[in-house]
Amino acid sequence: MIDLELIQKAISLTQAGKIDEARRIYEELLSKNPNNPDLLSIMGLFYVNIRDFDKASEILQKACSIKETLGTVSALGFAEFERNNYIKAAEYLEKSLQFGENADIYNKLVISLFESKSYKKAIEYAEKMFELYPEDYRAISNKIKALTQSGKLIEAHELCADAIKKNPDASVLWFQLGFLKELIFCDDSKAKECYKIAAELGNPNADYNIAVSCVKLGEFEEAEKYYKKMLVKFPNDINTKTSLGMCYLMQKKFKEGYDLFFYRDNSKFNNRTQNPWQIGSKIEDEVVIICDQGFGDHIQFIRYLPFLSAKKIQVAAPKTLQEIFSKNYSDIEFIDYEEINPKTQSMCITDLAYILNMDFDHIPFSEGYLKSEVADINSKKLKVGLCWEAGSAGIRTMINRTIHIKCFEPLLNLENAQIYSFQVDDSFAGCEKYPQMINLGKDFKNFSDTAKALMAMDVLVTVDTSVAHLAGALGVKTYLLLPYAADWRWFGDTKTTPWYRSVEIFKQTDHISWEEPINAIGQILNAQK
């Protein structure tokens, strides 16, 4: 039998802040009852309460192995949640619903599922939580997130605005309202106001989004201030460090930017290499370059390979890029990620400019650095390639870069031009809606196929995606459509870019409309015979 009086004493000591005394009582009880699931559960909760989540997880796992109850399984889920082990947290929290349910379990379950990108399940449980606890602002918040993820942005905005009237002090709702102002209305000033209210109400992440809004508004000094405020609260937060680095890079502050951007999250490669290049270290005789980030980054930074002094260079690249790269860099071995020798010194391809200390005033090969065969594509009309949809790098980035196919009607209806689709993932079904457009993208198996088709074009019209970088690297004439708040690598430029001489920029002057830049391109194309 467990001495309940001692348990109560330990609880009282914990509440009084006498943690060591409480711990001694629990440890003494546990030494006499090492396999008592109830005691293990109580002790696990003790460690949850004092925020020692590693110890809590260890004890609660043992408790669950003996006897699973609502208390033990849910507490283990809470511990894994606090350890940021969201996949495990979701697994335990979902299992705990077999024994009972409450709003706390649902809330952390939904958040865990969103964090682990299990969106379908997250949406299902968010709907369930909202049905069970419609007045709980956390349930409302999760419902808003589910609607947003499902693309039901107007419905999410209406629910959020209504919920704030009833819960004006709920910081998470103000935070979400700001995000929806960004996504739906592209109103970064209004979004910033909402984020500031969320910050005043204690939302720990609001300063980060204030900084993002400031960057999009071109208020770089203020953005830096808010990123630095976040780093005071979360000094090891990689996402904030990376974002501050990109803020500097956008202003062409090469060293300040890369000193932070260098430490971005590349954890997916941790098990591939044991010898990463570190700041200040020498380049060894044998190196492996890891293609990190997205396809566009791989294409953009491959230009720096000839400047590496290593005697043997391997490049770990996605299969879809290996053919075009190997044809252009025949003295370099291109391998799969699984083939990386973990002992070889590794470098991320996006860091090559930094490693070589080649700043933005010394960007090489702007005239182009890739070559390709030319596809047999014939037309008496002007051959215009078109790409309108960016890859999914998060909903904020995707919406910022993607343009609905309908906006391109002025180009699609040009009598002197034949439009060719370079879109591989056509979520807008553009080729079905506009059959006058010839769909090349459906036959692309890799970037070598894309390159051959690009070489046959008179001009490419594209949003900020990998095809734009490939065209620039090939020296293909390109009209690049950039959003009002573009990615750091375009440096706020509005006409040309030092990365690619063949690329001409057409940038939004309005936060929402693409009419002006697309019409400008249409006029240029229409004037060509």
Q: What is the mean pLDDT of residues 385-403?
A: 79
What is the distance between the alpha carbons of residues 292 and 294, in angstroms, rounded to a whole number? 7
> 163-265: which CATH number, 1.10.3720.10, 3.30.930.10, 1.25.40.10, 1.20.1050.10?
1.25.40.10
Q: What is the pTM of this model?
A: 0.87
> Is 70 exceeded by the pLDDT of residue 54?
yes
What is the distance between the alpha carbons of residues 292 and 333, in angstroms, rounded to a whole number? 17
Looking at residue 396, what is its pLDDT? 66
What is the distance between the alpha carbons of residues 169 and 268, in angstroms, rounded to a whole number? 38
Looking at every residue in the chain, the average pLDDT score rounds to 94
Question: Which has more confidence, 290 or 33?
Answer: 290
What pLDDT band is residue 210 in, cutting at 50, 70 and 90?
very high
> Is 70 exceeded by the pLDDT of residue 394?
no
The string of pLDDT tens digits covering residues 415-452 is 999 999 999 988 788 899 999 999 999 999 999 999 99
Looking at residue 37, what is its pLDDT? 86
> Is 90 exceeded by the pLDDT of residue 393?
no
Phi-psi region of 23 (alpha: psi -120 to 50; beta: other; left: phi over 0): alpha
Looking at residue 392, what is its pLDDT? 59
- Domain residue ranges of the chain, discontinuous segments joined by +: 163-265, 267-355, 382-526
Q: 46: which 2 tokens?
A: 């003790």
Question: Which has more confidence, 277 or 427?
Answer: 277
Using alpha carbons, select from 428, 438, 436, 437 the residue that is nearest to residue 403.
428
What pLDDT band is residue 29 in, cutting at 50, 70 and 90?
confident
Q: 483: which 2 tokens?
A: 């959003």
- Domain 382-526 in this protein, CATH class: alpha beta
Which pairing describes strands 312-316 and 438-439: parallel, antiparallel, or unpaired?
A: unpaired
The string of pLDDT tens digits covering residues 80-123 is 999 999 999 999 999 999 999 999 999 999 999 999 989 999 99
Specify whether the CB–CB gap between 214 and 230 falls below 8 A.
Answer: no
Question: Which has more confidence, 511 or 460?
Answer: 460
Specify whether the CB–CB gap between 294 and 269 falls below 8 A.
Answer: no
What is the distance between the alpha carbons of residues 297 and 365, in angstroms, rounded to a whole number? 15
Question: Which has more confidence, 198 or 528?
Answer: 198
Note the maximum CA span of the chain: 93
Which residues on neighbouring strands pair with residue 276, listed in sequence order?
Answer: 346
The string of pLDDT tens digits covering residues 320-363 is 999 999 999 999 999 999 999 999 999 999 999 999 999 999 99
